[in-house]
Structure 1
Amino acid sequence: MRNSLKQTEDPFTKLNKPFQESIKRIVDIIGSTIALIIFSPIFVVIALLIICEDGRPVFFKQKRSGLYDNAFSMYKFRSMRVRSTPRSKDKSSSSKYNWTTGVPDNFVFKTASEANPNITKMGHFIRKYSLDELPQFINVLKGEMSLIGPRPEIIEITRCYSTEQKMRLTVKPGITGWAQTNGRSNMNHGEKIRCDLYYVNNFNLWLDLKVILKTAVQVVAGKGSV
């Protein structure tokens, strides 16, 4: 069984900002609650459109690495077909991600132009405008995520992290973050890590506010996908 970093090693310098972290959690609770109420009509519409196009389920759950590499189930609106068409170039996660000295800087998990025949018409739309991410406000309310922070990475990738790369796991993953407002899906892993570590090292509530404002502009513009 895979042990969490919190149990096995602690190579990190804690934020040591208890007041700001407490305020951040309060903001997360209030913000996610308000968001879930405001977006509830959109939840219903998206759910109905997903069901009409490709049936159930409405939500997609995937294990991601959270604070201190503790796994949690991240929620999204389903954007892929239930019965997916096999893709000849697909490989198992174990053969894809087997780096032993850290994830290479030039690695790119996906690109904005990547074509996937299994994405539904509704899926293309909700991905373009990041609407598939809305259910993650549930993760925020539960305390598994924050409104702002590094995007939660898949476990197969974080298990290959170097000690430096693991430092991005010292804060809760977020719905959006500094990396997403400075390149989003168009940046490689090295650039993403540098942005995430900048956030970890410079965390404050004003930086969170700046990320929120920049995210709002990008979502309205439909720029890339988080």
Structure 2
Amino acid sequence: MPFDRDLADLHDLLQRADVLKGWGPNAVFRREDRTCINFAARLAIDTTAHVRPAGTQFDEATLELELELSNDDGLAGVQVCSAQVLIEGLNNAGEICRFALHFDRHEPSQVANELHAHYHWQVGGKQLENQEFGTVFQMAGPRFPWHPIDPVLLVDFVLGHFYGTKRADLMQLSSLIRYPRILYDSQTSFVTPFFADLHQSLSTDPFVATAYWPALCGAPT
């Protein structure tokens, strides 16, 4: 995929949609046999659509992503895929309030007691390690299965869940027509093969277990 061009298009589109609050540092480079993408941005979010502690003010989400792709075809080429989404605000007492999401690619060779989908979202992560929680529990799980992501898919995820009206503008306004085009390219590269592989696991009789959705046990022996 032409990540340099897509990032340039994404930057322009987010500016036009009046949703971009910060950009970078971003880089696309080759290291040995891998294409490496480091992405960071700050996006405006809808502050009226969320439950929050009284008096807490926030208006943006910070996004970071690290992606490394080898020369292998399809999802076999995804070697690193990790992302963070962080929303910070201040309450009336001047205390920092945080919400965070962590996205990760789990290495199957690493032993885990809990269900670890190969690609998954998790509430919290390291961004909340030192946060004061008051009366709220912060658990390690669940880890929600998901497809791998690139910068466009990360931005679309955040806007879709935290600023739906802006995503609708990006999808529908003729002046922003390039957005659904680059989104389609990213979905074709990462979403389609994920669900194609998952479908293949489920379409056998009996269906087989898959690391993409580890709750599937496969046929008992």
Give the TM-score normalised by structure 1: 0.26
Specify the structure having the higher radius of gyration (Cα): 2
More helix by share: 1
More strand by share: 2
Structure having greater relative contact order (Cα 8 Å, sep ≥ 6) = 1
